[in-house]
Structure 1
Amino acid sequence: MDFRLKDEQSMIVDSARQLGERFGLDYWREHDARKAFPSEYWRAVCEAGLCGVALPTEYGGSGLGMLEMALIVESLAATGGGSTVGQLFMINPIFGGVSISRFGSEKMRRELLPLIISGEINCCMALTEPDAGTNTLEIKTFAKQEADGGWRLNGRKIWITGVEVASKMLVIARTKKREEAASRTDGLSMFMIDVKREGLSHTSIDKLGTCTLDSSSVFFDDVRIEPEELIGTLHGGWKELLDVLNTERIVTTAGLVGTGELAIRLAVNYANDRKLFGDRPISAYQGLQFPLAQCHVEIEAARLLNHKAASHFDAGLNYGSEANAAKLIAAQTVARATERAMQTMGGMGYAKEYHVERLWRDCRLFRFAPVSEEMILNYVANHDLGMPRSY
């Protein structure tokens, strides 16, 4: 097993790191303060060809793989963006790109993939509901089919990322009543619709972190869906949705890995410069060294497991267990890494000037989103250990 990067992968990593360094930490601090979408940054990412790295060449992508995307996200996150970078890739090349390239019609691929890859449009996904949470099979948003083959959509979604800047929305809805479905997974379908459409409204949620990307409640009031806006199999969207969700885990983990790398580097640089109780830097004290070293080791473990998940996806192998386990380790470790980085800096770790507080606020989200650590442990217990379901 060869863990060395290929020449092309090394070039991609270097390009991503150089692009990220052009913007840097102050750019993200400013946009976080203004709660502003990083439009200049995302435009630069797309112009550099990084958004479409894992999407087909015939639509403007690079035709590489999810491993290359993970490497890009890690590098961009580590140069300043933090875990929010994972979300930017999540809403566009995953929610938009993966769903369309794998399950969309040829017409949809031709029309939308080049626009996503170039950054001309942004996407979002409307999945989570107030009464269902992570129990996707209990969603109630319903698309009723009409005589001409279209649908009318009614329902509510919550905590939907990026709605305010999105042109297209991947919507997951029931297309069969629960009592008519052959199983719990029967009767779910996916649609790609316009955000600006009669009957669709949304309101922003004020929140702790990830402020450069909005989170919203979304309301569907008799929203018309055209027949050609179906993605994948009518009533059979559950398994297809899992491919979208598990690749979402990969970019989320990559963003967290880069965040942990950045937080530790900021802490070490500060500790190497800070002197107390004589001429020795505070980084010489094992009380500071050991927690940061422990976090570094665990972040590297999450990175490797995520690379395995991405490589398995690219090879057409099962990758769900690896993707979920890597996300679990990364989310827990990076929460501690950012906390320890703040502790290393003392009072200055609490100051926005030193950036770690933003990384700490942003990464906290990912202990319960896009899937909670408890649900990941349920998955591991059921699927990997063969234990009975507890819920």
Structure 2
Amino acid sequence: MYTPVTDAEFTTVSFLEISSSYLLRLLSATPRRLYDISEIPPTPITHLSDTETAMQETVSKFAKEVILPKVRDMDEAENMDPALVEQLFEQGFMGVEIPEEYGGTGANFTSAIIAIEELARVDPSVSVMVDVHNTLVNTAITKWGTNQLKKKFLPRLATDTVGSFCLSEPVSGSDAFKLATKATETSDGFKISGGKMWITNAMESGFFIVFANLDPSKGYRGITAFIVEKGTKGFEIAKKEKKLGIKASSTCVLSFDDVEIPKENLLGERGQGYKYAIGILNEGRIGIAAQMTGLALGAWENAVNYVWNDRKQFGQFVGEFQGMQHQIAQSYTEIAAARALVYNAARKKEAGEDFVRDAAMAKLFASQVAGRVSGLAVEWMGGMGFVREGLAEKFWRDSKIGAIYEGTSNIQLNTIAKLLQKDYTTSG
């Protein structure tokens, strides 16, 4: 059974070790299965299994004790501490859903969502690194990789190699399938030429899933997924972007100049890349939504601790004024609503149900709440919220990306409306 980790033990005990005894899990990330739930008592959406609770407690402790002291320095330097990246692997946070046989934790999707949320309460930059690595990269290899690819790469992705998901290009952002990057078949494998933009984790990554068009005559149906390793001839990081927020998270421009890869580095089937990308991004949006709820909660907690315990005006704590209390209560209610959407989408995904609309709603609303709450938190704290000494202004800057990456808010609205219209339009 799970034993709480003491301060003295924390440096040597990881979630990977804690979770290894949980061979039976309440939920899993496997495809749809039918359950007889007639004997199962109703539970809250946010009810956690023992494994999920262990994940939440372990990540929360790690974030506060290990990440928090580094947050401001990493943000100012616009760089992720390499030692911290190593610790994320050591703790098992980079291989949450990877099966134990490949060195991963073997936990479920909701466990990954919990980790992402808890990390974002302290640093959304670290959170998005873990998010993209787990929900996009690891999932893609687990779902569509051959046994050979799984054996070769999953142990590395679980223990020491960061991964990137390379889809976006200069002219294909929201319209993700207007790809200009091309792949041609050779006698030994494939050759990739083109460029990618806005690629998360690129500076830290040794492993890249690259989408390129293998047959442009078929349009988006020619898009195919490939694996490119760092150091491959002709592949380089052309530029690291300087950003408004999540500055410690690297975002880069990639260049592919006749990059040759072996035929076994084809991921999945030819021409199925567009389907893979759509499916993976739907899951990834739940991860981004969790990043935003964690961010909102972190900003809220940081601010209320200040206005209820430190900041006084007119002889009383600022947080005791009714006008302030109403804003605090409203903000927490919105956070709770956003979290309910996130956990519901995660649970539906695990149950094998259609979760596309739920994921879109969760990402849309969570990013809106993160922006509102983090902005108000700066105002609640006054001057201390505006200076870079604390975390308030950073949470607000970090929140802006939530409405942009892995599908803008307008794209989420389009998706939600389209699916609603389908359900409510009568035929004939």
**Would you call these one fold, judging by a TM-score over 0.5?**
yes
Name the TM tier (shorter chain).
Answer: over 0.9
**Residue in structure 1 matching 2:169, options 117, 129, 132:** 129
The residue number in structure 1 matching 2:179 is 139
Task: Report the Cα distance in structure 1 between the residues aligned to 2:89 and 2:227, rounded to whole angstroms.
Answer: 21
> The residue matched to 2:343 in structure 1 has which SS?
helix
**Residue in structure 1 matching 2:128, options 75, 87, 107:** 87
The reply on whether 1:194 has 2:223 as its aligned counterpart is: no
The residue number in structure 1 matching 2:14 is none
Unaligned runs of 5+ in 1: none
Task: Report the Cα distance in structure 2 between the residues aligned to 1:108 and 1:339, rounded to whole angstroms.
Answer: 45
Task: Report the Cα distance in structure 2 between the residues aligned to 1:203 and 1:49, rounded to whole angstroms.
Answer: 30
> The residue matched to 1:225 in structure 2 has which SS?
strand
**Residue in structure 1 matching 2:249, options 167, 188, 213:** 213
| Residue correspondence of structure 1 range 170-189 to structure 2 within 5 A | 170-177=209-216, 180-181=217-218, 185-189=220-224
| Residue correspondence of structure 1 range 214-363 to structure 2 within 5 A | 214-272=250-308, 273-278=310-315, 280-363=316-399
The residue number in structure 1 matching 2:146 is 105
Give yes or no for contact 1:160–1:215 (8 Å, CA) kept in 2.
Answer: yes
The residue number in structure 2 matching 1:164 is 203
Task: Report the Cα distance in structure 2 between the residues aligned to 1:330 and 1:92, rounded to whole angstroms.
Answer: 21
Runs of 4+ aligned structure 1 residues displaced above 6 Å come to none
Task: Report the Cα distance in structure 2 between the residues aligned to 1:207 and 1:23, rounded to whole angstroms.
Answer: 24
> The residue matched to 2:249 in structure 1 has which SS?
coil
The residue number in structure 2 matching 1:62 is 105
Give yes or no for contact 1:253–1:326 (8 Å, CA) kept in 2.
Answer: yes
**Residue in structure 1 matching 2:72, options 21, 26, 29:** 29
The reply on whether 1:75 has 2:118 as its aligned counterpart is: yes
> The residue matched to 1:144 in structure 2 has which SS?
strand
Task: Report the Cα distance in structure 2 between the residues aligned to 1:204 and 1:36, rounded to whole angstroms.
Answer: 11
Amino acid of the structure 2 residue aligned with 1:220: F
How many Å apart are 1:295 and its aligned residue?
Answer: 2.1
Amino acid of the structure 1 residue aligned with 2:110: L
Give yes or no for contact 2:178–2:220 (8 Å, CA) kept in 1.
Answer: no
Task: Report the Cα distance in structure 2 between the residues aligned to 1:296 and 1:189, rounded to whole angstroms.
Answer: 43
> The residue matched to 1:217 in structure 2 has which SS?
strand
> The residue matched to 1:196 in structure 2 has which SS?
coil
> The residue matched to 1:100 in structure 2 has which SS?
helix
- The CA deviation string for residues 77-106 of structure 1, in whole angstroms up to 9 with x for no partner, is 22x21x223311233223321111111111
Task: Report the Cα distance in structure 1 between the residues aligned to 2:106 and 2:138, rounded to whole angstroms.
Answer: 12
Give yes or no for contact 2:299–2:392 (8 Å, CA) kept in 1.
Answer: yes
> The residue matched to 1:221 in structure 2 has which SS?
strand
How many Å apart are 1:24 and its aligned residue?
Answer: 4.6
Amino acid of the structure 1 residue aligned with 2:186: E
Amino acid of the structure 2 residue aligned with 1:127: L
Higher helix share: 1
Give yes or no for contact 1:93–1:117 (8 Å, CA) kept in 2.
Answer: no
**% identical equivalent positions:** 28
Unaligned runs of 5+ in 2: 1-41
Give yes or no for contact 1:200–1:218 (8 Å, CA) kept in 2.
Answer: yes
Task: Report the Cα distance in structure 2 between the residues aligned to 1:77 and 1:206, rounded to whole angstroms.
Answer: 20
How many Å apart are 1:242 and its aligned residue?
Answer: 2.0
The residue number in structure 1 matching 2:58 is 15
Give yes or no for contact 1:86–1:253 (8 Å, CA) kept in 2.
Answer: no
Give yes or no for contact 2:52–2:110 (8 Å, CA) kept in 1.
Answer: no
- The CA deviation string for residues 67-126 of structure 1, in whole angstroms up to 9 with x for no partner, is 111112212222x21x223311233223321111111111111111111111x1111121
Task: Report the Cα distance in structure 2 between the residues aligned to 1:268 and 1:256, rounded to whole angstroms.
Answer: 18
- The CA deviation string for residues 190-244 of structure 1, in whole angstroms up to 9 with x for no partner, is 1111132221222112221211122111121111122111111111122222232
Give yes or no for contact 2:119–2:127 (8 Å, CA) kept in 1.
Answer: no
How many Å apart are 1:13 and its aligned residue?
Answer: 1.1
Amino acid of the structure 2 residue aligned with 1:225: I
> The residue matched to 1:353 in structure 2 has which SS?
coil
Amino acid of the structure 2 residue aligned with 1:64: A
Give yes or no for contact 2:182–2:193 (8 Å, CA) kept in 1.
Answer: yes
Kindly report the root-mean-square deviation, in angstroms, between the aligned alpha carbons of the 2 structures.
1.7
Question: TM-score, length-normalised on structure 1?
Answer: 0.92
Amino acid of the structure 2 residue aligned with 1:331: S
How many Å apart are 1:290 and its aligned residue?
Answer: 2.2
Give yes or no for contact 2:126–2:249 (8 Å, CA) kept in 1.
Answer: no
Task: Report the Cα distance in structure 2 between the residues aligned to 1:17 and 1:300, rounded to whole angstroms.
Answer: 18
Question: TM-score, length-normalised on structure 2?
Answer: 0.85
Give yes or no for contact 1:309–1:319 (8 Å, CA) kept in 2.
Answer: yes
The reply on whether 1:52 has 2:95 as its aligned counterpart is: yes
How many Å apart are 1:46 and its aligned residue?
Answer: 2.1
Give yes or no for contact 1:103–1:231 (8 Å, CA) kept in 2.
Answer: yes
Give yes or no for contact 2:102–2:155 (8 Å, CA) kept in 1.
Answer: yes
Change (3 A) 1:50 1:24: closer
> The residue matched to 1:354 in structure 2 has which SS?
coil
> The residue matched to 1:67 in structure 2 has which SS?
helix
Amino acid of the structure 2 residue aligned with 1:122: V
